[in-house]
Structure 1
Amino acid sequence: MSLQPSSPAEVPSQTAAVARAAFPRGSAYLRLRDELGTVFTDAQFTALFSARGRPAEAPWRLALVTVLQFAENLSDRRAAEAVRSRIDWKYLLGLDLTDPGFDASVLSEFRSRLVAGHAETLLLDTLLALCRERRLLVARGRQRTDSTHVLGAVRSLNRLGCVTETLRASLNALAVAAPEWLRAHAEETWSERYAKPTDDLYVPQGEAARRAHAEQVGRDGHTLLAAVFSPDAPAWLREIPAVILLGRVWVQNFQIVSVDDETGTKDDPDHKNPQTTQVVWRTSSEGTPPSLLMIASPYDPETHYAKKRSTTWIGYKVHLTETCAADRPRLITHVATTLAPVADRDALGAIHADLAAQDLLPDTHLVDAGYVDADLLLASARDHAVMLLGPSPQDTQWQSRQSGAFRLQDFQIDWDRKIATCPAGHTTTSWSPDHNLGRTVIRIRFSSADCKPCALKQNCTRSPRRLLTPRRREEHAALETARAREADEAFAEQYRWRAGIEGTLSLGVRTMHLRRARYLGLAKVHLQHVLTATALNIGRIADWLAGEAVASTRRSPFARIISQAA
């Protein structure tokens, strides 16, 4: 389809008259059109369309309809019906009352163009740029970030179910791509094991029986892979995505081991080659990949297993960042969709980089404990002049919990000379960098000859000698500064603003199914989250234009009485 960019049309007079009569007090979409115009233009989407072909529907209208359908949680078909039937939508889109609209499939194609053109954030970025022009959004304010889990659009499978379903998916793909070749190489028993979905198959009970069943599936998959990669097989079979995925899943869940052949075979009756190979199911002793690499479903290889406290899921994770100024609407400025096992702190650097590219960095960034670490405290201030405000990692050693015990802060550390002095006056030069859970620490060891006879040992260490593990100098200083800031009474007053982001996540979950992926693949799920954020922003802008105040946190009658009494 081709695009001939045109200027957005004014609202037809008849449409405007009917809309004013139908909404004498105005409505959200009428106010948006009157205050913000059309928001989008055709010229923004030129790169997503061809220069030749049948004329496409105006992309600025498709963009608006896409945002509206996410705001109201409508399917493509119901959104297309709303374009034909609703007066407020026609007013916002500048359509005649008699306009027939478009087919619902156009919306799906438009989203596919956004993903193919790597323009998932285009709609959100355009809206934020318009808000900056209207002074509804300014840089270097106060922002807050939080994350939540997202269930993938695939059913949850255990490891045995995943390998079985992966082999079944590969057989189905080969049946479509190379039916004659598969008919010649498939074994008769495969139809009994893989003709039906995994849920409909009988799986034997008991650990030994289940392992034997798993290894039978492993042998079948290994046989199929050997046939695909044999020299006489067509080379293009190896490029089928389902076959490539089959090889990855088999490496993750099975291993090929050599075993002694004591019985001899028809081809080797004299035991001249006593070593044969066997497909063995991997267990914890053999080792399996970490969840970030482990494939959880053949139908969406980018979904992964993750666990956060008591919540376990297979899917993704979404991070939302929003402003929280008291005199402006609270707008979502950034959306990040990551693989489920990615820790919150590992996503913060990319969030700051993206905000810097859009010139939307905050002065103060309110986050929970999952985003705060010594290196992030340092990098945020050094690279972006952002104060990361949140609960900093605390000292978990027993000395920090026992009154009178000597903590790290009670030792004098000379960073330039690399010398540490304990409260008893003993010094050490045992100083070596080390790594702990992906972080660089300094291991400072005191001499056991000094520690064992020391009169203060009872309050210092329970080991033969004291070991200190501070972070590197700059990171240690940043961490100590953050801990001192938390002890100030002003910290609680500043940090209370972070709670609002949980309300935003709750609103997205309750009204727009934020925690359920609608599509397969990280790129499409990210587009879903960006459109959800854009829809939330549209609603908040409309409320701001109507003069509606931000709702306060609900409290029970009992809580209000207690607070009044206090």
Structure 2
Amino acid sequence: MFTLRDRRTGDLFDRWSDLGEKRRRLLERSWAGVFRKHLLENLPVDELSHHLDDRLGRPSKDLHVVIGVLILQQLHDLSDRATVEALAFNMAWHYALGVQSEADAYFCEKTLRNYRRLFIAQGLDELLFQRLTDRLVRAFDVDTSRQRMDSTALRSAMRSLTRLGIVVETISKFVRELKRSDPALHSRIDADMIRRYVDCEGDGAFANTSPSVSRRRLLEAGQDLLALALQFRGTAAEQLSSFAILERVLRDQFDVVEDGSGKLATPIAIVRKPADVPCDTVGNPADPDSSFNAHKGQGYMAQIVETWCDDDPDGKGNDTANVSSPDLITHVEVHKMTVHDGHRVEDAMAGLETRNLKPAMLLGDSHYGAGETKAMMRTREIDLVAPMPPAKGALSGRLTLEDFALDASGLVLRCPNDIKPTSTSASRVRLQARFDLSDCRRCPDMLRCPVQADKYDGSFARFQYTPVRVANRKRRLYEQSKAFLDIYRWRAGIEATMSRLKHQMNLANLRVRGMPAMRYVVHLRALGLNIHRCARVGQGI
């Protein structure tokens, strides 16, 4: 039954008067004071109340306290048991949540888990983050015209598995779930397979596989995986989530081919080459939503957008920051590792625009600096300040168009070794410079130069490039100027935010798995960091 207390009506007696002036001031200036003053009355209780009956059932907990406890649990990175104890005994929690009765000061762990499960299932974490962040932006008069964006890799609570480990854990997970849900179907599984994959006992158990024989054992495990898939297709086992994972692992890790021909043909599983395995494959059946990135490993990617202000306007390193306006995280998104950062900019800016938080200037690293992304931001009247990705070959030490001297129309004047071309030409789609091949052969940079011998005329060397490359060269040279660097240096501040999220808010050591739970935790911990920052402003730090 739905229970809600009117918090807009003041109390007849101040139950905090016995704290004394100093202790009361400490509470008001802490995170508890920020939460009580600015957020407690703005919690989205209406969205949660739809799932409770007005008349039937036991009275629910006060929904303000329920939502507040979920936020404070992530703000302090507490386990369920520690959260229940903090609600029962912590004075700062009582002050922040406005706890007045014994009933509000206690949750059992099951109640906490049930409400959290409901929150995650309904996706209310994003709504909660946006509504309360918007409230903090208005309360602290935060300037949202200048923001910066970056991403960070996150890892859920899962082990790193080899390819053999993925197959073994997938089979074990399916067999165990089938035993719980349908014992009759489970009885059809070969007892030797249960011994090897679930009990891990006796000869042939995969728990004792050495690295030297893992590839041979992977082929054996693949045949067992295929046998289970063929055995239970078309049965009630197809409805199990573990069977869907089994089919996905079989599809990603193996190629199923026919051995033989005619009626005697039998399907067999052939191990795929590592290069042929998709990055979006299952890395651990305990968390099938995670994905793989060659640079950052297995896990999830989080996009973060935050405000920033120029606290050094004269460029002399003087600390003139306005302590009344904190830098707040305005946008959070969790997605797969396989999605490029540049593809998430438009959705982030569209979301900020609907909340009236659209920036006039957005800072980002080179992952966001592609020409298409910059043009897209111009249509939204946003100045995207981000360097272009390095030119192809530049990182390997090869010469690029940026090393050549060009005239105003984009034609080559001199090469990096001050050799002038014998002729230049330009068309609508291509520009060209021709050099004397004898000069190029005497050049010390011949092996790393983009100028190549003309296959039609053996006495010349040719260098061709497009007008787009000319525009990119102009942009890359501008990015080395003082005017660009004076603005772009403020992007580095978001690295400190990422560090605080991972270490102060402990996103580096998560206890959850799965995309919905990851989104829930990241949204609420980003909100928690915003609360901490507002509290520091109140303390004059």
TM-score w.r.t. the length of structure 2 is 0.81
Question: Which residue of structure 1 lines up, in the alignment, with residue 494 of structure 2?
Answer: 501
Report Cα offsets for 1:297-331 as digits up to 9, x if no partner.
Answer: 111111122232xxx43211212211112431111
Distance across 1 between alignment mates of 2:137 and 2:485: 30
Q: How does 1:471-486 map to 2 (within 5 A)?
A: 471=468, 477=471, 479=472, 482-486=475-479
Q: 1:252, 1:294 within 8 Å by CA — same for their partners in 2?
A: yes
Which aligned pairs between 1:507-522 and structure 2 lie closer than 5 A? 507-522=500-515
Alignment correspondent of 2:245: 245
Distance change >3 Å, CA 365–CA 196, structure 1 → 2: farther
Check the 8 A contact 1:4/1:55 in 2, yes or no: no
1:51 aligns with 2:50: no
Matches within 5 A, 1:98-497: 98=102, 100-140=105-145, 142-183=146-187, 185-196=188-199, 201-206=207-212, 209-229=213-233, 234=235, 236-260=236-260, 276-284=266-274, 288-291=276-279, 293-308=280-295, 312-325=296-309, 326=311, 327=322, 328-382=325-379, 384-397=380-393, 398-400=398-400, 405=404, 411-412=410-411, 425-427=423-425, 431=429, 444=430, 461-464=451-454, 465-469=462-466, 471=468, 477=471, 479=472, 482-497=475-490
The Cα shift of 1:256 comes to 2.1
Q: Is the 8 A contact 2:387 2:479 kept in 1?
A: yes
Secondary structure of 2:125's counterpart equals: coil
Compute the displacement of 1:134 (Å).
2.4
Deviations 1:509-545 (A, max 9, x none): 2222112333221121011011001111111111112
In structure 2, do the counterparts of structure 1 residues 205 and 97 end up closer, same or farther at CA, with 3 Å as the change threshold? closer
Q: Give the conservation status (yes or no) of the 8 Å contact 2:149–2:306.
A: yes
For the structure 1 residues 97 and 47, does the alpha-carbon distance in structure 2 shift closer, same or farther, using more than 3 Å as the test? closer
**What SS does structure 2 have at the residue aligned with 1:136?**
coil
SS of match in other structure, 2:16: helix
Superposed displacement of residue 87, structure 1? 2.1
Q: Which amino acid aligns with 1:427?
A: S
Please name the residue that 1:527 is paired with.
Answer: 520
| Structure 2 CA distance for aligned equivalents of residues 3 and 408 of structure 1 | 74
Aligned 8 A contact 1:345 1:370 in 2: yes
State the Cα distance separating 1:41 from its structure 2 match. 4.0
Q: Structure 1: where are the runs of 5+ without partners?
A: 262-271, 414-421, 432-443, 549-566
1:402–1:90: structure 2 CA closer, same or farther, 3 Å change rule?
closer
Distance 1:340 1:396, change over 3 A: closer
- Equivalence for 1:18: 18
- Percent identity, aligned pairs only, is 23
Shift of 1:118: 2.1
User: Does the aligned pair in 1 maintain the 2:364–2:384 contact within 8 Å?
Assistant: yes
Deviation at 1:376, TM superposition (A): 1.1
2:79 to 75, 79, 84: 75
Aligned AA (2:182): A
Select between 123-132 and 37-46 the one with higher mean Cα deviation.
37-46
**Alpha-carbon deviation of 1:260?**
4.9
* Residues in 1 aligned to 2:170 and 2:408: alpha-carbon distance in whole angstroms: 55
SS at 1:365 equivalent: strand
Residues 11 and 320 of structure 1, relative CA distance in 2, 3 Å threshold: farther
The whole-number CA distance in structure 1 between the counterparts of 2:450 and 2:224 is 61
How big is the shift at 1:74? 1.8
Q: Where does structure 2 lack aligned partners over 5 or more consecutive residues? A: 312-321, 413-419, 444-448, 455-461
Shift of 1:393: 2.4
Q: Distance in 2 between matches of 1:246 and 1:460?
A: 49
> 2: CA distance between counterparts of 1:321 and 1:117?
24
**1:124 and 1:402, CA in 2 relative to 1: closer, same or farther beyond 3 A?**
closer
Q: Find the counterpart in structure 2 of residue 544 from structure 1.
A: 537
Q: Distance in 1 between matches of 2:112 and 2:11?
A: 22
Tell me how far 1:175 sits from its aligned partner. 1.1
Other structure's SS at 2:208 match: coil
